[in-house]
Structures are given as C-alpha cells and as structure tokens.
Copies of this chain bind each other. A is one copy, B any other.
Amino acid sequence: MKKTKPDTIDTLSGGELGFLVSAVRSTIWSSIEAELQPLDITAAQFVVFNSIALGKGRTIGEFCRLLGYDSGAMTRLLDRIEKKGLVRRVANPEDRRSFLLELTPESKALFPQAKRRVQTVFKRLLAGFDEAQAAALKLALEQLLANAARTS
C-alpha cells in the first residue's frame, strides 16, 4: 500500500501541533518534488542547488551547518548531485582539507527554471494568505525554534 495523506485529527492537544507540522513539511516537500520532477531534480537536491546559487556558503561544511545536514548525508547527497552534473567539488586553495562547491554551466542555465517552479509551489500553498498572515506564520515558527534552542 502506498503512503496516503493523513486524515485529519480532531483534538487540540499539543501533539496535534507536531502532527500538523509534520504533515505540512511532507506536503511542501512532495509538492516540490512533483514540480521539479520534469527537471530530474529532487527537493533535497534543489535545496543545495539553491543555496549554492545564492552564494549562501562556500565549502561543504558551511552548507552542512546552513542546512542542518549531517556531513555523511551531505557527502552522499553531493555525490548524487555531482553525478547529475549540477554541482562540482573544487579544491579549496585556502584549506586543503575542504572543498568549495560550484554550479556547472548546465546547472546555472537550469537554475532559474527550477527556482521559478519552486516559487509557484509556495505561491499555491500560500494562497489566501495576506502579507500579515504570512509574516505571523513565519514569526511563530521562528519563535518555536527559539524556544527550543533556549532549552537545549
């Protein structure tokens, strides 16, 4: 049996928040997967792709920290992306232990299209949200993160 979208839950207990957040995450993720499938890019791959394209980091380690990825997972994720020719590992002249990540010419050309597709996903998901509501959602999520950080 394939995975199904969860039926709704009706209580208001704390656990429901966890359930909702999980469901939203998986929904966002699979919407992006579906939208990027024609380009043969997975959602995880896009996240890295996007971060490199936006210059959010330079080395593998920086992207691990930025994206909350384990270094082992990142190694293998990069292996997959590199095999598709979207990313290149380049020796870091400042530190011979590490690698810099670069887009390839092909992926630079592909990026705008992928980005646009992902943006349409979020636009669709946020339909009916005005600026204030979107900002409040973002703020609430950030507050949750801050609360968690405060006590761990």
A residues 53-106 with Cβ under 8 Å of B?
54, 56, 61, 64-73
Q: Is the CB of B126 within 8 A of A144?
A: yes
- Tell me the bound Cα distance from A61 to B2 in angstroms: 11
Decide: B152 and A118 in contact? CB cutoff 8 A: no
Closest to A20 in B: B141
User: Nearest chain B CB to A152's CB is how many angstroms away?
Assistant: 7
Interface of A is mostly: helix
Name the B residues within 8 Å of A134 (CB-CB).
17
The listed residue (B54, B124, B137, B147) touching A140 by CB distance below 8 A is B137
Judge if A42 is at the interface, Cβ distance under 8 Å.
no
**Chain B: CB-nearest residue to A122:** B14
Q: Which residues of B contact A67 (CB under 8 A)?
A: 6
- Bound Cα distance from A45 to B123, whole angstroms: 34
Partner of A144 from the list B17, B24, B149 (CB cut-off 8 Å) is B24
Which of B6, B16, B138, B149 is in CB contact (< 8 Å) with A65? B6
Which residues on B sit within 8 Å (CB–CB) of A47?
Answer: 15, 18-19
Q: Is the CB of B18 within 8 A of A141?
A: no
CB contacts under 8 Å to B, within A13-60, are: 13-29, 31-32, 34, 47, 50, 54, 56
Residues of A near any B CB (own CB < 8 A): 1-7, 9, 11-29, 31-32, 34, 47, 50, 54, 56, 61, 64-73, 118-119, 121-129, 133-134, 136-138, 140-145, 147-149, 151-152
